[in-house]
Amino acid sequence: MIEVDVQGTGNSAVLRPRGRLTMVTAPQLRAAVAEAVDAQRVLIVVDLSACEFIDSSGLGAIIGGLKQARQAGGDLRIARVGSQVATVLQLTNLDRVLRPHDTVEGALHDG
């Protein structure tokens, strides 16, 4: 089970998945992104500092969220990426699509 903390103000939301982001838990992240977009929070930051592991399904949930946010006129950004997640992003070249930010604040204010 993954816990997704959601914090949002205005048109932004910060999602903090905790634990392992895998095939079993990716639907929870997808649902949190959909809920944020439905609430007109189209600038979404996924804070990965408490995510210990991510697999292809977890990456798929993040990419799906990026597409959903962009279709709503917003963006999805990632922040505070740990070493395992950073390695997966580099190996899949997704770090070119989803440039990791050092802080949530940096991701929110990156223009």
Determine the CATH number of domain 3-109: 3.30.750.24
DSSP the chain: --EEEEEEETTEEEEEEEEEESTTTHHHHHHHHHHHHHTT--EEEEE-TTEEEE-HHHHHHHHHHHHHHHHTT-EEEEES--HHHHHHHHHTTTTTTS--BSSHHHHHH--
Q: What is the pLDDT of residue 44?
A: 94
Q: What is the pLDDT of residue 40?
A: 92
Could you tell me the pTM of the whole model? Answer: 0.91
Q: Where are the domains of the chain?
A: 3-109
Q: What is the pLDDT of residue 2?
A: 54
Q: What is the pLDDT of residue 7?
A: 74
Q: What is the mean pLDDT of residues 55-70?
A: 96
Length of the chain: 111
pLDDT digit string (tens) for 1-57?
Answer: 456 667 767 889 999 999 999 999 999 999 999 999 999 999 999 999 999 999 999
